[in-house]
Amino acid sequence: MTKSFVTAKEVAALAKVSRSTVSRTFTEGASVAPDVRQRVEEAAKALGYRVNKLAQNLSADQSQIVGVVGSNLSTPFAARQLDQLSRGLLQRGMQCLLLNAADAQHDISPLIEQVLEFRVRAIVIMSGAPPGAIIDECLANGVRVIVVNRQTDVETDTILSDDVAGVRQAAERLIMAGCRFPAVVSSSARTQSQARRRNEFLKLMFEAGLEPAIWAQGVMSYETGQLAARDLLATETVDGVFCVTDLLALGFLDAARDMGRRVPEEVSVIGFDDIPQANWSAYQLTTIRQPLDELTDAVLAAIDRDVRGGNSRPIRRILPATLIERATVRAPTTV
């Protein structure tokens, strides 16, 4: 019943040629007589032959597979990122081996090891903490590693959006709105971009002579944002909130409204990422947009890069984040 796949040998037998000729028929730019080629192709079609990529990649010692490790894939931002990336890979004739790091903060070495076993062409790390040692090992083996939105001490391709500049715009905007009692909301997960955004916000606020309330609990989710609002608005005097993620901001918004606080009149809220929901008319969240398209393009470009001159230096691209004005921050006050 469960017959095995058709091999080139069987095609060769049917077409009455050698297996080498079959191989050549399916190899670009090999020399095969037209009539023979046709005979082989017919035989292949009749038998339902398709090359075994496993074997093909084995002798070539490289595959067109790209390993992608990510986490929180149901989160709007990550989902869009993966959607774009996987589509781009497919368009470029590469395969996308998805490794879902269930837990962001865990060490993702085992995942990388797993993907290495497939002699992948490149590894894209969208999340998780990759220890330098294993990245070095990848690079030593000629596997390009592309790290997204994360600083690494290792010399490898790095693509990130300009969190610092983005946060600066957010902070300035809140200050322009006349906020006196800022707060910053994040989850308890200590991912790099979260920490970077939070710390930069704190730094800027201190420089402006303000002392933000700090809230950091739970997982990265809408519900955590709600919780933050209930905590902060009940116990603190807060008139301007920076949520390190839109998801948090949306939860914050809803809970604030449920508590009867008016946004932006009583409290301004600003997020980060610009996920689609931020633009839904129930929210109209003012936020900092991550340049997702450019991010994806940069990743794809970095992967393609290794085809050409081998040992050029690693890419390091910082893409601009921009303030998207919507309706959750008070209009600038003319001081």
Partner DNA sequence: CCCTCATTTGCACCCGCGTTCATAAAATCC
Partner DNA sequence: GGATTTTATGAACGCGGGTGCAAATGAGGG
Pick between residue 29 and residue 48 the one whose CB is nearest to a second copy. Answer: 48
For DNA, which residue of 32, 96, 116, 319 counts as binding (CB under 7 A)? 32
Which option in DNA, a second copy, none does residue 118 bind, with CB closer than 5 to 8 A by kind? a second copy
- As measured in angstroms, the least distance from the Cβ of 35 to DNA is 7
Pick between residue 30 and residue 259 the one whose CB is nearest to DNA. Answer: 30
For a second copy, which residue of 211, 258, 293, 325 counts as binding (CB under 8 A)? 258
Q: Is 207 in the site for DNA (CB under 7 A)?
A: no
Interatomic CA distance for residues 213 and 182, integer angstroms: 6
For DNA, which residue of 51, 79, 195, 324 counts as binding (CB under 7 A)? 51
Q: Is 24 in the site for DNA (CB under 7 A)?
A: yes
For a second copy, which residue of 27, 42, 45, 83 counts as binding (CB under 8 A)? 83
Total H helices, total E strands in the chain: 12, 12
The DSSP annotation for 269-324 comes to EEEEE--GGGGSTTT--EEEEP-HHHHHHHHHHHHHHTTSSTTPPPPEEEE--EEE
H or E element at residue 243: strand 240-243
Pick between residue 54 and residue 234 the one whose CB is nearest to DNA. Answer: 54
For a second copy, which residue of 32, 36, 98, 210 counts as binding (CB under 8 A)? 98
Q: Is 132 in the site for a second copy (CB under 8 A)?
A: no
* 23 Cβ neighbours under 8 A, 6+ residues apart: 8, 30
